[in-house]
Amino acid sequence: MLEFFSTFIAQNTPSLDSQEVFSRLIGRERLGSTGIGNGVAIPHARDPHCKAPIAGFLKLQEPIDFDAVDGEPVDLVFVLLVPEAADETHLALLAQVASVMNDTETRARLRRSESQRQLYDVLIQAIQRLGSGNQDG
């Protein structure tokens, strides 16, 4: 799954190398799983060739073992790649993504989504709710 994301990102971002992206994401996982519980993982890494934050979201048909904190398999994966020097930005983005993905209703809506467009709309709405301070939970 991380290999798929790495290849996809590199194909769409010429400055990135898929093997390097994959290596950085795996390197981060070795420090400790980014599986935050409730079937969610937020793999993330810094990359010196990344010019601006890049995010991707995958809803897996079959949950996979991700060594998550609660031991549950993961089916919702939000991958984040940031520039090497983006320390504060990196942390702020991670906090935002975690807030969105920790929302029970957002997770349920993502799991019910049947198209890429629905997934995108659910995520955008959840991010907007977070930004306006109207988030439940």
List the catalytic residues.
Answer: 44
Say which residues have a Cβ less than 8 Å from residue 49's Cβ, sequence separation at least 6: 15, 16, 17, 20
* Tokens encoding 57: 């979201």
Radius of gyration of the chain (CA): 14
CA-based end-to-end distance of the chain: 29
Closest CA to 6 of 49, 37, 36, 39: 49
Contact indicator for 95, 129 with CB cutoff of 8 Å? no
